[in-house]
């Protein structure tokens, strides 16, 4: 049986992951609206990942006889002034999600909840990849984004991103 504190944090993480999907869909829309369909694609796929992360947390709770209540998900409200801002906001958001998962890990550690620690190990690795990917994208934009031809090439590269869903049986 999961400790109530750990259960509550995992349930809250579901909402955070679904909000992440909303946030990335909003960023996707921003780029599509500005004719950068490759960046729009990149963020749409990022939204799919976040949705699946929420489902992984939900599945884990259900497999441990906890049936999470779905909380309201707020709408993103950022207005972007330039093409770089969503990239930086995404990196900051990934760091926020990493801190949240680390907080759950610390609570599970405190409660000797080794099953949850094992479950969270995948997310800790995933968050490292998410932060690196977001950071790399900011860096590449800083290198190439001010030149229209280079921005076009970077956008075309972002259009090639595809999605492979994680196993929902973690």
pLDDT tens for residues 152-162?
Answer: 999 999 999 99
So what's the pLDDT on residue 169? Answer: 59
CA distance 169 to 72: 25
**pLDDT single digits (tens) 95-139:** 999 999 999 999 999 999 999 999 999 999 999 999 999 999 999
CATH code for the domain of 88: 1.20.1260.10
In a domain, 95, yes or no: yes
In a domain, 152, yes or no: yes
Q: How confident is the model at residue 170 (pLDDT cuts 50, 70, 90)?
A: low
**pLDDT single digits (tens) 59-71:** 999 999 999 999 9
Give the residue carrying structure tokens 């991103």: 161
So what's the pLDDT on residue 166? Answer: 77
User: What's the count of helices (H) and strands (E) in the chain, helices before strands?
Assistant: 5, 0
In a domain, 164, yes or no: no
CA distance 65 to 115: 14
In a domain, 113, yes or no: yes
Residue 38's nearest CA partner among 167, 160, 165, 164 is: 160
So what's the pLDDT on residue 89? Answer: 98
CA distance 88 to 95: 11
**pLDDT single digits (tens) 11-31:** 999 999 999 999 999 999 999
So what's the pLDDT on residue 1? Answer: 80
In a domain, 112, yes or no: yes
Residue 168, pLDDT > 80, answer no
So what's the pLDDT on residue 164? Answer: 85
166 phi, psi to nearest 5 deg: -75, 160
Give the residue carrying structure tokens 């196993």: 167
Instruction: Judge if pTM exceeds 0.85.
Output: yes
In this structure, what token pair is assigned to residue 66? 């906890």
In this structure, what token pair is assigned to residue 79? 């207005």
CA distance 141 to 44: 18
Which of residues 22 and 170 earns the better pLDDT score? 22
In a domain, 167, yes or no: no
In a domain, 165, yes or no: no
- How many domains does one find in the chain? 1
In a domain, 136, yes or no: yes
Residue 131 structural domain? 4-158
CA distance 108 to 146: 45
Name which of 34-38, 140-144, 165-169 the model is least confident about: 165-169
């Amino acid at each position: 049986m999961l400790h109530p504190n750990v259960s509550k944090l995992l349930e809250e993480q579901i909402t955070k992951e679904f909000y992440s999907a909303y946030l990335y869909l909003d960023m996707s829309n921003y780029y599509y609206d500005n004719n950068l369909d490759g960046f729009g694609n990149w963020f749409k796929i990022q939204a799919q990942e976040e949705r699946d992360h929420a489902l992984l947390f939900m599945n884990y709770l259900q497999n441990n006889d906890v049936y999470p209540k779905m909380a309201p998900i707020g709408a993103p409200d950022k207005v972007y002034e330039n093409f770089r801002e969503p990239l930086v906001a995404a990196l900051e958001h990934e760091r926020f999600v990493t801190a949240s998962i680390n907080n759950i890990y610390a609570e599970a550690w405190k409660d000797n909840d080794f099953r949850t620690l094992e479950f969270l190990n995948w997310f800790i690795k995933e968050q490292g990849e998410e932060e690196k990917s977001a950071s790399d994208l900011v860096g590449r934009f800083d290198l190439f984004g001010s030149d229209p031809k280079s921005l076009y090439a970077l956008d075309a590269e972002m259009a090639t991103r595809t999605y492979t869903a994680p196993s929902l049986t973690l």
